[in-house]
Chain A
Amino acid sequence: MNTEILGVILMYATVVALAIPLGRYIGKVFNYEKTWLDKIFNPLDKLFFKLSGINPGNEMTWKQHLVTLLTINGFWFIISVFVLTNMSWLPLNPDNNPSMSWDLAFNTSVSFVSNTNLQHYSGETSLSYLGQLILMLWQFISAATGIAICAVVFNAMKERTTEKLGNFFSYFVRSCTRILFPIAFIGAVILVFNGTPMTFDGKDSIITLEGAQQNISRGPAAAFISIKQLGTNGGGYYGPNSTNPMENPNYLTNIVETVFIFLIPISLVFALGFILKRRKLAIMIYGVMTAGFLCLVIPTIYFEMNGNPAIAEMGISQNMGSMEGKEVRFGSAASAYWAINTTNTSNGSVNAMHDSLTPLSGMFTMLGMMINSFYGGVGVGFINFYVFIILAVFIGGLMVGRTPEFLGKKVEAKEVKIAMMIALLHPLMILGGTALASFLYAGNPEAYAGWLNNPGYHGFGEFLYEFCSASANNGSGFEGLGDNTPFWNISTGLIMLFGRYLPIIGPVAIAGMLASKKYIPESAGTLKTETSTFGILVFAVIAIVAALAFFPALTLGPLAEYFSFCVAN
C-alpha cells in the first residue's frame, strides 16, 4: 500500500490506541478516583484553592456552573487585553516588539477566549514573549473550560435526580493539571528534540547559503505549539502555523501534532463510557463520529492525492498529488488528513494552505466546521453532539411510541426548544454572515475589491469558509480573503463569541434540567440509545439538520467551482 496512506492510517490508529487508556484516565480524574498523578498534584491543587479561598467541595447547579465559567473567562479576558496592549514596556520582550492596538488586542483576546485562535497578526513580529505566554495561558484556559463543562454534562447524565453537578473550579483545575499539562509537556519535549525553539532569548541570526544574514525568530515555541494542538486551539506561534519548519520540523513532529488534534476529543467520548459505565453508549457516539469523519476524510485524501485536473490539463505531472500550498515534507495525504482533522475539531491549525485545496476538499473542510461535532473541539465537540442526540432521541422516541427519554430522563418541550435554538444558531450565523458579505460585495464590487483576490465561486467559498471558521471557533481560513478590515473583524468577532458561549449554555441548560428530572428505569419499550440503529438516526439528524441546510450555499461555492473547472475539463 501507498506509504502516504499508511502514514495516515498510522496516525489514526495511534490516536485511538492512546485515547482508550487516556479516556479511562480522564474518567478517573472526573470520578475523583485515585490516579498516579495525585501525589504530585493534590498538594498543588490544595495550594491553589487555599490561596484563592475557593471551596472545591461546594457543588453547583448548572446555572452556577455557567456563571463560574463566564467569570473565569471574563477575568482572564481583561488581563489578556491589558497585557497585549502594554507588552512593549512589560518584561520578556527581547525583540522589542510593539504593543497591540486596542482593537487588535480585543480581537485577538476574543479569538483566544473562544478557543478559535483566528489570528490577524504574526506572532514573531507582533508579540513579546509575555504576549505569547498570555496567549499560551489562554490555550490552557479555553481548553480546560471546554473539558470542565463537558465533565459537568457527563455528571448530569448519571442515573440519578439532582440539582448539584459538582464544582466547576475543581473540574477546571483538574482539567489543567491532570490532563492538559502532563500531555502538553510530553509533546513539547518531543518537539524540542526535533528542533522547535524553546528559549527566552531574542532573535538568532544565521548566514544563509547565499551568504546573506537572516534573523530567525525564537522564543518559547515548543510549549506553545504542543498545547495549541492538544487543546484544539490552533493559533500558531509563528504566522504560517504548522507549515513553518520551526513549528513543525518533520514528519515525526507532524504525526505528534496530528495525533494531538484528535487525542482529547476522542478520549472524552471514551471517558463518558467509563464515567457513566455505559461503554456501549460511548461506542455508539464514537461510531457515529467516526463514520462522519470517514465520509469527509476519505474523499478529501482521494482528491488531494489525485491532483488538480486543471493542472493536469496543462500537461504537468502530479505524481505527488495536488501540491499547491502543501509542504513537500508532509505530502498530499498527510496534509489532506490534517485539513479534515483540524476542521472537524475546532482546532484550526494548518500544515497546508486550505485555500489551495481542490474544490471538493475545500467543501469537506467546510462541512467539518458546519457540523462541528465529528469529534469536535475539546469538550465542546461532545456538547455539540449532545444537542443532536437530544433531537434524535425526540424523533426516535416518538417513533417507538413513547414519550422520548434519554438515559432515563424525559425530553420535553423545553429541552427540544433549547436544542432546536442551538441547532439553528450555526446556520443562522454562517449563512447570515455570508449573506451579508455577499450582499455588500454584490452591491458594490469595486468598493470591496480588496476582499477577494479570486472573485467568482472561489471567492464565495472564501466568505463561506471565514464564517464557518468563526462560528465553529476553528480559526483557520481560506487565506485569499482580505479579512483585516472593520467588517470582518467585527462580524467574525461577534460570531466567535456567540458561537462559543451559546452552544455551551444551551446544552448545559438541557443537561442540568434533565438531571433534575425524575429518573425512569428502562423497560423493553424504552428507546435504546446505545444501538447502531439509534446511531444511524443521530447520523441522519446531523446530516439533515447540520449539513443539508448549507447545500444551496455549497452549490454556489465549491460545487459550482468543481463542476465548472474539474468536471467540465
Chain B
Amino acid sequence: MTNNTSLFQRSLVQEALKESFVKLNPKIMFRNPVMFTVEIGTFIMLVVSGYSLSNSSQGGFGYNFTIFLLLLLTLLFANFAEAIAEARGKAQSDSLRKTREETPARVISIEKSSDFKFSNLKPSDIQQITSLQLKKGDLFICEAGDIIPADGEIIEGLATIDESAITGESAPVIREAGGDKSSVTGGTKVLSDRIIVKVSTEQGESFLDKMIALVEGASRQKTPNEIALTILLAGFTLVFIIVTITLKPFADYANTPISIAAFISLFVCLIPTTIGGLLSAIGIAGMDRALRANVITKSGKAVETAGDIDVLLLDKTGTITIGNRKATNFYPANGVNENSFRKSIVLSSMADETPEGKSIIELSKIDPLTFQVEGARFIKFTAETRSSGIDLPALQAENEITRIRKGAADAIKSLCEKAGNAFPDEIANRVTQISSNGGTPLVVSENEKVIGVIELQDIIKPGIQERFVRLRKMGIKTVMVTGDNPLTARFIAEKAGVDDFIAEAKPEDKMNYIKQEQSEGRLVAMMGDGTNDAPALAQADVGVAMNSGTQAAKEAGNMVDLDNDPTKLIEVVEIGKQLLMTRGTLTTFSIANDVAKYFAIIPALFIVAIPSLQGLNIMNLHSPESAILSAVIFNALVIPMLIPLALKGVAYKPIGASALLRRNLFIYGLGGVIVPFIGIKLIDIFVSLFI
C-alpha cells in the first residue's frame, strides 16, 4: 500500500473535476446549507445575465455574466475539494480492495454435525468455489501458497502468513487456532502449513468493506461536532441573509439603488463559503488519514472521539517495553562456579521456547548444541510448579539424575525447603534487589539446591518516553497495564514516564479502571487483542483492536489496527485532534475574512449615491465594479488555495491548549483579517486593468 501519494495525482484530479460538475445537482448540494444558498445565488445571476442582454437596468451583460461565472467557479471549487478528498479516499480503498478480488476458495462441504475430524478430511469433501460465494460460517481450507479468500478465524492448524498486502510489513506472522492470534484477513497469503478457517463476516460487511464505504462517502454520516458546526455556519448564513435582504429597503430609503449582482455578491462574500465549501472534504480527509495510518475505523465519530481522549490504557509488553523480558545478569550463589552455573542454566533453558529462555542462552554465549542431552527429560513450565527445567539421565552425570529447575523465587524456595535445603539469605537479598530495580528474578536450583539467580529485565522501547511527554502535553493520562508485581510495575512505569499503572492486572481490573475513569467524566482509549480484552474494548470510548487479534476483540472495538502496532493510538489521537482543529481554524479564517470583504463591498454599494463615503474605501479600490469583482474573486480563489490544508490537516503541536489557541488565533484569526485586505487589493489592481 502506498502511503505517500502526492496530494494531487493526475488521475485523481481528472476524476474529481468530473465529480465537481455532477455535485452541482441541487439534491446533492442541499446537504450543505451554505453552498446551497450560493447555488441559488448563482442561478439568480444566470437569470439576471439573460435579462441584462435586453435591459440594462441591472448593469451590463458582461459584468453580470462575469459574476455568474465567478459564483459558478466558487461552487465548482467547493465541489472539487470534496471530490478530490473522496477520490483520494477511493484510491486508497481501491488498493485495499485489490486484496479482496475474486480468489479461489476451497470450501469444506460436509455435514458438520457428523462426527468428523479435520485430520481425516477426504479430497471429496472439498469443493472449489470463488471467494464471492463464501458465506458467513463456511469453512475453507488454505495451504502454503494460497491467498486467503475471506476474513475468518482459524479453527484448526497453524500457519505463517504474509500480511504485507494489508499492512505493508514484509515479515511473515504466525497465526494459529485457539488463543489470541487466530484471526486471518482476506487477501493475505499463507506461506507455510495448512489451516482451516471459518468465515467470520458476510460478503461486503467486513471491516474493510465498511471502511471503504466510509471513505468513499457513500455511508458517511455527519459526526456530532460536524453537525454542530453546520448549525453554526447555517446560523451565520441566516444572519447575512437578514443583512442582505434588509439592505434593500435601507437603500431605497437612501435613494441608492443596488443591483442584484451587488446584493448577491455581498451575500456570497459574507457567508462562510470557505469553511462551508471545505467542510466535508476535511471530514473525508480525516478518515483517509486514519486509513493511511493503517487504521480501519468503523465510524467517523470514533476518529473524532479519539481527539477527546483523556486516558490511554496501554499494555506494558510490546508497547512500553520491547516484546518480552531479556536476561541481563547471572548471579551464581556463593561457592558456585560461574562456568558450571552457566552450563546448568543453558541446559535448563534448552527446551525453553519462550523469549526469556532464548535470551538466557543468548546471554550465556554457549551454544547449547555442544551438549549431549540424549535421554534427558524436559520439564515444561506449568502454572502450578511455576518453574521449568530438565532432568539429565544418570549416565551423563555422576551416577545420579541431575534435576535443574529455574522459576519464580518462591516456587524454587518451597521446592528446596521441601527437600530440606535452606534458601540462602544472600539469594533472598538478591531477589529483592532485582525486583525493586524493575527486574524479574529467576532462581535456579540443581537437585533442590539453589545455585544462583538470573536477572530478567524489561527493555523500554527507545523513544517511548518522548511519546509519553507528548501525550501529557496533549492532556492525556497514560496508564500501563501489566501482569508484573507492583514493585516491578512501579519501576517500569517511572522509567517509561507513564502516569499510572495497573499491576498484576486481570481482565476485570482493566474493565473496572475504565469504568472508574468514565464515571469521573473522562474518555478512555485502549488497545487490545485477546478475547478477554473484548469487554474492556467495548467499554472504552475508543477501543482499538489489533488485526491479529481475535474476532471477538475486533468486533468489540471501534477501530482495527492493521499494523498491530500498540503505539498506534497516539497517532489516532493526533488524527482526531487534527480533524477538529482543521474545522475550527478554517471556520475562524472564513469568518475573519468578512471584515475585509465588508470594507471592499459596502463602500462600493453606496459610493455612487453618497460620494462622501469614499472615506470608508480604506483599501482605495479602483471602482465599485472592480471592488465587488475583486471580493468575489478572492472569495472563490481562497477555496482551492486552502484545499491542501483541508486535506493534510492543520499541524497539531502538543504545546497545551492555551498556547495552541493563541497560535491558531494568531495565524488563522489575525491572518484571516489581514490576508483578504492584501488579496482583494492585489486582485483589484489586476482587475482594474480590464475595466
Tell me the A residues contacting B by CB distance below 8 Å.
391, 394-404, 408, 411-413, 416-417, 420-421, 423-424, 427-428, 431-432, 434-436, 438-439, 441-443, 457, 460, 518-521, 523-528, 531, 533-534, 536-537, 540, 544-545, 548-549, 551-553, 555-556, 559-560, 563-564, 567-568
Contacts and interface: CB of A to CB of B under 8 A. Distances in A.
Interface stretch (B21-29, B506-514, B658-666): B658-666
B610 A564 contact: yes
B528 to A, nearest CB: 23
Interface string B210-248: 000000000000001101110110111011101101111
Given A424-B235, A424-B239, A555 B613 contact: yes
Contacts of B235: 416-417, 420-421, 423-424
B472 to A, nearest CB: 7
A396 B224 contact: no
Interface stretch (B325-333, B393-401, B449-457, B586-594): B586-594
B63 to A, nearest CB: 21
B376 interface: no
A533 B475 contact: no
Contact of B577 (A401, A420, A544, A551): A401
The A interface is mostly helix, strand or loop, or mixed, namely helix
B606 interface: yes
A417 B614 CA distance: 39
A442 B476 contact: no
A439 B249 contact: yes
Interface of B: 224-225, 227-229, 231-232, 234-236, 238-240, 242-243, 245-254, 256, 304, 307-308, 310, 472-477, 520-522, 576-581, 583-585, 587-588, 591-592, 594-595, 598, 602-603, 605-606, 610, 612-616, 652, 656-658, 660-662, 664-665, 668-669
B576 A401 contact: yes
B231 A413 contact: yes
B280 to A, nearest CB: 16
A192 to B, nearest CB: 47
A413 to B, nearest CB: 4
Given A397-B580, A548-B595, A552-B605, 20 more contacts: A395-B587, A396-B665, A399-B660, A400-B657, A400-B661, A413-B231, A417-B235, A427-B243, A432-B242, A435-B245, A435-B246, A460-B250, A519-B521, A524-B656, A525-B476, A544-B595, A552-B598, A555-B616, A563-B612, A564-B612
A413 B234 CA distance: 12
Contact of A391 (B232, B577, B580, B584): B232
Query: Which residue of A399, A413, A431, A555 has the most chain B CB atoms within 10 A of its CB atom?
Result: A399
Nearest to B578: A401
B238 A413 contact: no
Contacts of B522: 520-521
B521 A533 contact: no
Nearest to A420: B235
Contacts of A536: 665
A559 to B, nearest CB: 7
Contact of B610 (A424, A520, A560): A560
A524 B595 contact: no
27 contacts: A394-B229, A396-B584, A398-B587, A400-B660, A408-B521, A416-B229, A420-B234, A435-B250, A457-B254, A520-B522, A521-B310, A523-B476, A524-B473, A524-B657, A525-B474, A525-B577, A525-B656, A536-B665, A544-B591, A545-B239, A548-B595, A548-B598, A549-B242, A553-B246, A556-B256, A560-B612, A560-B613
A560 B576 CA distance: 49
Nearest to B305: A403
B242 A533 contact: no
Nearest to B251: A556
A310 to B, nearest CB: 14
A434 B249 CA distance: 9
User: What 4 A-B pairs have minimum CB-CB distances, sorted nearest first?
Assistant: A525-B475, A398-B584, A401-B577, A420-B235
A3 to B, nearest CB: 34
B167 to A, nearest CB: 27
Contact of A537 (B228, B229, B612, B661): B661
Contacts, number: 218
A560 B307 contact: no
A414 to B, nearest CB: 8
Given A524-B657, A552-B250, A556-B250, A428 B242 contact: yes
Contacts of A417: 228, 231, 235
A403 B225 contact: yes
B27 to A, nearest CB: 24
Contacts of B473: 524
A396 B591 CA distance: 13
Contacts of A412: 224, 228
A401 B254 contact: no
B665 A397 contact: no
A438 B253 contact: yes
B606 A560 contact: yes
Nearest to B584: A398
Contact of B307 (A403, A424, A442, A528): A403
A399 B242 contact: no
B587 A525 contact: no
Nearest to B601: A552
A516 to B, nearest CB: 13
A438 B248 CA distance: 9
Given A408-B521, A555-B602, A560-B606, A399 B588 contact: yes
B243 A431 contact: yes
A433 to B, nearest CB: 9
Nearest to A546: B239
A457 B251 CA distance: 11
A399 B308 contact: no
Contacts of B224: 403, 412-413
Given A391-B232, A556-B606, A399 B576 contact: no
Most chain A beta-carbon neighbours within 10 Å: one of B224, B576, B579, B613? B613
Given A413-B228, A435-B250, A531-B658, A403 B580 contact: yes
A525 B250 contact: no
B76 to A, nearest CB: 27
Given A416-B231, A533-B662, A402 B307 contact: yes
